[in-house]
Chains A and B, each alone.
Chain A
Amino acid sequence: METIALSADARPRLSPHFMFRWEASQDAYILLYPEGLIKLNLSAGEILKRCDGERTVAAIVADLQAAFPGHGEEIAASVRAFVDLACDKGWLRT
């Protein structure tokens, strides 16, 4: 996959027409969009929840590091990887 240079002060937000919510029957966060449906794993859900167009990538990382202490580097790397993927797939816009 081509990686887009993602700057730490980008403010990712959900693309228009995408619906992101908790779904009890799946016990997971899900993304719904025209003709499609994605069930998100736990960390993807936690990241996406914070992509509100207000928070920067750096702020999302800091927020998650505070919420899940002891995984500093891992969180930073997975936020970047996920936001890259989600932008590439068109779920998120920066």
Chain B
Amino acid sequence: MPKETGGLSLDGQGKPLWLSLELTYRCPLKCSWCNNPLDFEDYAAKELSTEEWKKVLRESRELGALQLGFTGGEPLQRPDLEELVAYADSLGFYTNLITSGIGLGEERLIALKNAGLKQIQLSLQATRADVTDALVGARAHARKLEAGRLIKAHGFPMVLNMPVFRQNIGMTGEMIEWAAGLGIEYLEFANIQYYNWALMNRDELMPTLEQVRDAEKVVQQWRDRLGKKMTIYFVIPDYYEGRPKACMNGWGAIHLTIAPDGVAMPCQEARVIPGLEFESVRDRPLAWIWHESPLFRKYRGLDWLPEPCGSCAEKEKDFGGCRCQAFLLTGDAGNTDPACSRSPRHQVVQDAVDAVARPLRFRKPLVRRAAGAMSTAFLET
């Protein structure tokens, strides 16, 4: 999330500058790359109440949090979103809403504006309705476009987020053109990370290196053409880079995520790692969880790093990569991220890349995020 780390200075000084609140995992869509837990249905009954979320906001602001993302699931599923935005704004947060656009009618948009919401990140998967609708498993395209138009009409800055995979990577140019026409300031091509549902569908979703390079070229041409009118982010998947992401700027460094049930995590995916002791804000003060809990201390800083990271000059840059990816692909979260070419387990990433490049493969249908927590019948394609 931090795009501007090279600015004048961004040093968390041990503070959780970036707070993400996963208000709910409920969502009317069924994206095959969703990074919510596979058992997302079980969270609906355990969601924090309005007052509990307010307490989280107060406590994290006291810890120095500044940027705040309301996310999910679909955060608009919470009828108290406006109330929480207003409260966060009064505490001095810069409030961002991360939404699929489903449920964002004009009335709510105005209420959110009045509550002090600063920015909206809208996801859109394709420029064509049939492609979007098939990808998200619902008739969503027209609603998303309408949401985009409304967001601009009400003067919000907007990040348009296109999760990128093989099925839509060829639409990069069209997407930029459409976004430019709407006057969108930030366009983010997010090469998806392969956790949870996305990992289950990895072989079908992962683009080939050639596709990635082509898209990169298209992005560069448009950057030259549009200049400062639009900022376009395009991040190459780490599977192809030979180096891991500097995941979350390091474990427990500047990012804090709270799950719907109040569990505090160093990143949204951390719960995939078994054996960690997760603590809920229902049971413990947030300051203790952030500063003292074994979970947040486990991979904080550089001292715990294994070889080859420990003696590697690049450790200050990437902190040995992503703990969740290390676990999912090597079985141990304490290993060097296998996306790194120096990892002794790099072959597992290489194998995934090779599998994608094989020309004649048997294609499996995408597994959709299965619904259960709510009825999506009205949206079925």
Contacts and interface: CB of A to CB of B under 8 A. Distances in A.
Contacts of A23: 66, 92
Contacts of A40: 8
A94 B11 CA distance: 29
Contact of B3 (A30, A32, A35, A44): A35
Interface string A10-51: 000000110101010110001011111111110010000000
B350 interface: no
A73 to B, nearest CB: 22
Contacts of B121: 34-35
Interface residues of A, number: 21
B301 to A, nearest CB: 21
Bin chain B's interface residue count. Answer: 20 to 34
B66 A30 contact: yes
Nearest to A87: B228
B10 A35 contact: no
Contacts of B67: 32, 35-37
Contact of B8 (A17, A35, A38, A90): A38
B157 A17 contact: yes
Interface centre among B8, B11, B13, B92, by most chain A C-beta atoms within 10 angstroms, is B8
A19 B94 contact: yes
A30 B67 CA distance: 11
A32 to B, nearest CB: 4
Contacts of A37: 2, 4, 10, 17-18, 66-67, 94
Contacts of B318: none
Nearest to A17: B157
B18 to A, nearest CB: 8
Contacts of B157: 16-17, 33-34
Nearest to B94: A32
A39 B186 CA distance: 21
A41 B11 CA distance: 12
B153 interface: no
Interface string B112-132: 000000110100000000000
B212 interface: no
Contact of A35 (B1, B9, B15): B1
B3 A36 contact: yes
Nearest to A39: B9
Nearest to B186: A34
Contacts of A41: 8-9
Contacts of B66: 23, 30, 32, 37
A28 to B, nearest CB: 9
Interface of A: 16-17, 19, 21, 23, 25-26, 30, 32-41, 44, 89-90
10 contacts: A19-B94, A25-B64, A26-B64, A32-B118, A33-B94, A34-B119, A34-B121, A37-B2, A37-B4, A41-B8
Interface of B: 1-4, 7-11, 13, 15, 17-18, 64, 66-67, 92, 94, 96, 118-119, 121, 157-159, 185-186, 228, 231
Sort A-B residue pairs by CB-CB distance and give the 3 closest, nearest first: A32-B94, A17-B157, A25-B64
